[in-house]
A and B are shown apart, each in its own frame.
Chain A
Amino acid sequence: MAVEGILQAAAQYRQSLGGRVHEAIVERTFEEAERIAERAVVREGEARKFALDLALDRVLTSRVWGLPVMGLMLAAVLWITVTGANVPSAMLNDLLIGQGHPWLLSMFGSMGSPSWVTGFLVDGVYLATAWVISVMLPPMAIFFPLFTLLEDYGYLPRVSFNLDRAFRWAGAEGKQSLTMMMGFGCNAAGIVSTRIISSPRERLIAILTNNFSICNGRWPTLILIGTIFVAATAPPAMAGLVAAGSVLAIAVLGVLMTLLVSRVLSRTILKGEPSHFSLELPPYRPPQIGKVIVRSVFDRTLIVLWRAVVMAAPAGALIWITSNIIVGGDSLAGHFVGWLDPFGVALGLNGVILAAYVFAIPANEIIVPTILMLTLNVARSTLAQQGVMLELDETATRDVLVNHGGWTLLTGVNLMLFSLLHNPCSTTLMTIYKETKSWKWTLWSALMPIGIGFAVCGLVALVWRLVA
């Protein structure tokens, strides 16, 4: 066949040319490129060229300053997001829930709608959506622009560079550090960002471990629990610091888990050839700050709104329904909680928490109000109407959880751990399926973290009860 003839002829020539054809061609190409570039570039200010960049890099990657600066950057981004989101979140909460909720109730009432319709739509669907918007929108609108600015400026490859050794130990590609960082904003976005990893095996490792990056949706839970339980054990002057410290500790634990689990995966079920690492450190390019911020805020707002409507609304509906259908003397939700309770307590948690996590699969943000609501329902407290998610201030929350729910420090600590080590939210799972096109791996990404969560919480509970 003529084609084989061509291939054979080529092979013969290849041999007689000594097999260095590719090298020779590439070398010549670069020689020419060098020559032409030389003639085109008028080397003014050669010394100035990149000198500043290099000086900056010397600091950002230095043995002494490199990692601390990174830690500080992360802490700064977290801090700005958290404190910056406080006021807008409170305002949104006030507007949508404080005012919006009663207004809708009265409007429905005046239309003469049956109470179950009002309950379903206003207490269930609307409240969940409103909650997600007020809790999620401000932090997302702050974190992502910040992250994008760092990205555009060119800092992120330096982080990759600094952490590469750790990722090499984990058997992972250096770029996984970037996808991990993206996950701190939103895990679904983190999954999409794994496209930059070319090797499918290493990409999968990045996807499976992305959930160990604590996304924006989980911070409020961590901060609240850290404040009312962990910080409560410290002297008041230190409370703020201890709370922040506990949250940071969980975040760092997440990074360590990413590395550890990656290492295990790369040696067991995802074994294979490590790809050849190369990373370009581009010159620093000051971004057009205004433009970036506006675009990022706009994009993020749309995404949060979409997610609130598509994910949170059904969750709210489900919570309301199960809390209001009474069977055998208790609501469906109440039965569910009771059924989960023994398992929950064994894990150092309780049935309410586990049930809340099931309801919160669509969106991590609704955990706290769901927990409060379920606790009060189970305790038959008059403070709660059936199926209405609510929000209280810190002292009231602590009061409810401890006195009505029987929470202890162990519960608080384990909740923080579990919030790190549980299944990804449904948006993320959907994204994983879209990106991997594999049911098997999507299932893995759901079950592996929660399996680890059960194990860790169970262990902590065991040791705690033995020691305390």
Chain B
Amino acid sequence: MQELKQVSKACDACGSCSAGDKIVPMRRTEGSDFLIALAGNPNTGKSTVFNALTGMRQHVGNWAGKTVVREEGAYKFRDKAYRLVDLPGTYSLLSNSVDEEIARDFVLFGRPDCTVVVVDATALERNLALVLQILEITDRVVVALNLMDEAERHGMKIDDRALARDLGVPVVPMSARSKKGLLELAATVADVVEGQVALRPHRIAHLDPELDKAVVSLVREIEREHPGILNARWIALRLLEGDVGVENELRSGTLGKPSHGTLSLAGGQ
């Protein structure tokens, strides 16, 4: 993984990280250069990460389901302005609860320049399910491996390099509560949005030739009807599952319309 090594070597060699790099919370959310989505399971410290980056003070509590609204904030890093959207915590993007639709629509159609998935290091298995789902949708993902201090406390050690290797996207170990790993996260996000990092997201092989055939054929139809649409494969899979939400959006023609105004200069995938 030469490209990933490049990032971390650059990090090691670059003395300017601690010298010049700073995350500066911004008041205004106008005039941002990049749009970043913050996703993750409930109760992973996502709001802590959000607060730390944007200087905002959402209340954080240790029980699942506290953040229910889409919060927005902004920060400046290396002279670029980043607009950060804190999505509601969700266990997956596939069920049809309101929270999950908000999160999913944003990642799918809101065209974030990068999606940061906050993962609870003490419950890796369950958290990775969401990461894998998101990787099916977009390449530009950074995994924020949070609560590392808690993992350590419970006697767990996590090999973040192996994780990054397997997932094909950068993994940043952190402990947002103690403000550890934030700079690395901002730097990694900056590198990803600037295209400095090669991303080879892990895609799940479904091992069912009939399913694959169906997907290919549907994708063809979908792309013909909506030329230039992103995520046709994802849509095809949802249609095959019988996802009512996606079906309705397809019918009403709202599929593919971003649910907010974005000033992003970069495109989707």
> A–B direct touch, CB within 8 Å, in complex?
yes
Is B241's beta carbon under 8 Å from chain A? yes
Shortest distance from the beta carbon of B228 to any chain A beta carbon, whole Å? 15
Is B159's beta carbon under 8 Å from chain A? yes
**CB-based contact A151/B154 at 8 Å:** no
Shortest distance from the beta carbon of B88 to any chain A beta carbon, whole Å? 10
CA distance A157 to B202 in the complex (A): 35
Closest residue on chain A to residue B241 by CB atoms: A22
Interface SS of B by simple majority: helix
Closest residue on chain A to residue B221 by CB atoms: A6
Write out, one digit per residue, whether chain B residues 150-180 have a CB within 8 A of any chain A CB (1) or not (0): 1000111111101100110000000001000
CA distance A44 to B221 in the complex (A): 50
CA distance A14 to B210 in the complex (A): 11
Shortest distance from the beta carbon of B134 to any chain A beta carbon, whole Å? 11
Is B239's beta carbon under 8 Å from chain A? yes
**CB-based contact B159/A49 at 8 Å:** no
**CB-based contact B61/A148 at 8 Å:** yes
Is B240's beta carbon under 8 Å from chain A? yes
With a cutoff of 8 Å between Cβ atoms, the chain A residues found around residue B160 in the complex are 40
Closest residue on chain A to residue B207 by CB atoms: A28
Interface size bracket, B side:
35 or more
**CB-based contact B97/A9 at 8 Å:** no
With a cutoff of 8 Å between Cβ atoms, the chain B residues found around residue A285 in the complex are 62, 150
With a cutoff of 8 Å between Cβ atoms, the chain A residues found around residue B54 in the complex are none
Stretch at the interface among A29-37, A318-326, A346-354, A417-425: A29-37
**CB-based contact B156/A282 at 8 Å:** no
Write out, one digit per residue, whether chain A residues 133-153 have a CB within 8 A of any chain B CB (1) or not (0): 000000000000000100111
CA distance A14 to B217 in the complex (A): 13
With a cutoff of 8 Å between Cβ atoms, the chain A residues found around residue B98 in the complex are 198
Known contacts A3-B250, A3-B251; is-contact A10 B218 (Cβ 8 Å)? yes
Stretch at the interface among B4-12, B71-79, B125-133: B125-133
Is A267's beta carbon under 8 Å from chain B? no
Shortest distance from the beta carbon of B257 to any chain A beta carbon, whole Å? 15
With a cutoff of 8 Å between Cβ atoms, the chain B residues found around residue A33 in the complex are 125-126, 128-129, 131-132
Is A440's beta carbon under 8 Å from chain B? no
Is B263's beta carbon under 8 Å from chain A? no
CA distance A3 to B247 in the complex (A): 9
**CB-based contact A5/B125 at 8 Å:** no
Known contacts A21-B241, A28-B204, A36-B167; is-contact A282 B132 (Cβ 8 Å)? no
With a cutoff of 8 Å between Cβ atoms, the chain A residues found around residue B157 in the complex are 41-42, 44
**CB-based contact B162/A39 at 8 Å:** yes
Closest residue on chain B to residue A200 by CB atoms: B98
With a cutoff of 8 Å between Cβ atoms, the chain B residues found around residue A41 in the complex are 124, 156-159
Interface size bracket, A side:
35 or more
With a cutoff of 8 Å between Cβ atoms, the chain B residues found around residue A34 in the complex are 125
Within 8 A of A (CB), among B73-115: 92, 94, 97-99
With a cutoff of 8 Å between Cβ atoms, the chain B residues found around residue A43 in the complex are 156
With a cutoff of 8 Å between Cβ atoms, the chain B residues found around residue A25 in the complex are 94, 204, 206, 237, 241
With a cutoff of 8 Å between Cβ atoms, the chain B residues found around residue A157 in the complex are 63-64
**CB-based contact B240/A7 at 8 Å:** no
Shortest distance from the beta carbon of A61 to any chain B beta carbon, whole Å? 15
Known contacts A2-B224, A26-B94, A40-B158; is-contact A7 B250 (Cβ 8 Å)? yes
* Residue from the list B57, B63, B128, B166 in contact with A151, Cβ < 8 A: B63
**CB-based contact B66/A196 at 8 Å:** yes
With a cutoff of 8 Å between Cβ atoms, the chain B residues found around residue A378 in the complex are none
Closest residue on chain A to residue B171 by CB atoms: A40
CA distance A186 to B94 in the complex (A): 36
With a cutoff of 8 Å between Cβ atoms, the chain A residues found around residue B202 in the complex are 32, 36
With a cutoff of 8 Å between Cβ atoms, the chain A residues found around residue B122 in the complex are 283
**CB-based contact A36/B166 at 8 Å:** yes
With a cutoff of 8 Å between Cβ atoms, the chain B residues found around residue A279 in the complex are 64
With a cutoff of 8 Å between Cβ atoms, the chain B residues found around residue A10 in the complex are 218, 236, 239-240, 242
With a cutoff of 8 Å between Cβ atoms, the chain B residues found around residue A14 in the complex are 240-242
With a cutoff of 8 Å between Cβ atoms, the chain B residues found around residue A5 in the complex are 221
Which interface residue of A6, A10, A14, A48 has the most chain B CB atoms within 10 A?
A10
Is A116's beta carbon under 8 Å from chain B? no
Within 8 A of B (CB), among A231-251: none
CA distance A295 to B206 in the complex (A): 49
**CB-based contact A29/B132 at 8 Å:** yes
CA distance A283 to B225 in the complex (A): 48
CA distance A9 to B206 in the complex (A): 20
Is A16's beta carbon under 8 Å from chain B? yes
Closest residue on chain B to residue A155 by CB atoms: B62
With a cutoff of 8 Å between Cβ atoms, the chain B residues found around residue A288 in the complex are 177
With a cutoff of 8 Å between Cβ atoms, the chain B residues found around residue A16 in the complex are 210, 214
Is A50's beta carbon under 8 Å from chain B? yes
Is A389's beta carbon under 8 Å from chain B? no
Question: Using a CB–CB distance below 8 Å, which chain A residues touch chain B?
Answer: 2-7, 9-11, 13-14, 16-17, 19, 21-22, 24-26, 28-30, 32-34, 36-37, 39-46, 48-50, 148, 151-154, 156-157, 175, 178, 195-196, 198, 279-280, 282-283, 285, 287-288, 295
Other A-B pairs, 20, CB within 8 Å; known A30-B129, A41-B156, A45-B156: A4-B251, A6-B225, A7-B247, A13-B240, A21-B237, A25-B94, A32-B132, A34-B125, A36-B163, A36-B167, A41-B124, A41-B159, A42-B157, A48-B154, A152-B61, A154-B63, A157-B63, A196-B63, A196-B68, A285-B62
Question: Using a CB–CB distance below 8 Å, which chain B residues touch chain A?
Answer: 42-43, 57, 60-66, 68-69, 92, 94, 97-99, 122, 124-126, 128-129, 131-133, 150, 154-160, 162-163, 166-167, 177, 202, 204, 206-208, 210-211, 214, 217-218, 221-222, 224-225, 236-237, 239-242, 247, 250-251, 253
The 3 lowest CB-CB distance pairs between A and B, nearest first, are: A45-B155, A10-B239, A33-B128
